[in-house]
Amino acid sequence: MNIEGRELSWIRQHERIVDGVTLTVGPGETLGLIGPNGSGKSSLLHLLAGLRRPSSGRVYLDHEPIDGFSRRQVAQKVALVAQHSTTDADLRVEEVVRLGRIPHRGPLQGWTQSDVEHVEQALVQAGLVALRHRRWHTLSGGERQRTQLARAMAQQPGVLLLDEPTNHLDIQHQLDLLTRVRALATSNIIALHDLNLAAMFCDRLVVLSEGRLVAQGAPEDVLTPALIWRIYGVDAAVERSPHHGKAQIHYLV
């Protein structure tokens, strides 16, 4: 599924938090959203997920305006794993993952074989089979993060939006999660702070600064020392890694 944001703006208290952003992502593609704290990444993801209404501009799913779909239809197509996703009830891991099936079930429809299979697959994909009976409040930060990812995968979306999904994860799980996401056939947009991970796992990057899109393109074209200085005020050297061939950033402090 293709997702497109066209000239998206979101104004709060007279401030343009997202300012005229246009972007598009196609199936199997992974777009990295980078930018300093407060540059509008989460706000943009919420607009793209249809959870906030843009002040101007529009979101399109497969070229159809998102406002033409019901909430349920949008939830069948787009999954967002927000930065501080949580759950109120003290559910078990597999119960949280089952919540991902809600958009696909009618009000009177029972639990189908297809629902069971998608939940099982999501538990396996997120490496949570051994934790399936654990209660939410007993999970570590990283285990909660993976549970939320599994919930989103069980939702079988065409578009997967992830807000800093590698927070709380150890390095093995960071690499594992991004490898799994990249392998999906979904259109993926991932807000990331780690520029080296962004370079390794994203096909394209979009850079936000003060709500505006200030650069976009292939990681090796976007992640230049000049851009890193301009956006973050940090001195950096960038080279192509002799090991994996992607851009690698060295911070010079």
Ligand X SMILES: Nc1ncnc2c1ncn2[C@@H]1O[C@H](COP(=O)(O)OP(=O)(O)OP(=O)(O)O)[C@@H](O)[C@H]1O
Site residues (vs ligand X, CB under 6 A):
12-13, 17, 35, 37-43
Kindly provide the residue ranges of all beta strands, DSSP E only, lying in 78-203, ordered along the sequence.
Answer: 78-81, 159-163, 187-191
Measured from the CB atom, the residue of 203 and 210 that comes closer to ligand X is 210
Q: Angle at CA 33, nearest 5°, toward 61 and 186?
A: 40
CB of 243 to ligand X, least distance (A): 28
SS3 6: strand
Q: Would you say 52 or 105 has its CB closer to ligand X?
A: 52
For ligand X, the closer CB: 39 or 174: 39
Radius of gyration of the chain (CA): 18
13/86 with CB nearer ligand X: 13
Give per-residue burial for 206-233: e unless 16+ CB within 10 Å, then b: bbbbebbbbbbeebeebbeeebbeebee
- Given the complex with ligand X, which of 45 and 122 has the nearer CB atom? 45
Sheet bearing 64-65, strands edge to edge:
15-25, 3-12, 56-61, 64-65
CB of 34 to ligand X, least distance (A): 9
The nearest distance, CB 211 to ligand X, in angstroms, is 7
> Of the two residues 41 and 101, which places its CB atom closer to ligand X in the complex?
41
140: helix, strand or coil: coil
State CA 242 to chain mean position distance: 28
Helices 113-125 & 141-154, crossing angle to 10 degrees?
Answer: 140
Q: How far is the CB of 132 from ligand X (least distance, A)?
A: 30
Minimal distance, residue 106 CB to ligand X, in Å:
33
Residue (41 or 146) nearer to ligand X, CB: 41
Shortest reach from residue 197's CB to ligand X, in Å: 15
Phi-psi region of 126 (alpha: psi -120 to 50; beta: other; left: phi over 0): alpha
The dihedrals phi and psi of 30, each to the nearest 5 degrees, come to -120, 115
CB 45 to ligand X: min, Å: 8
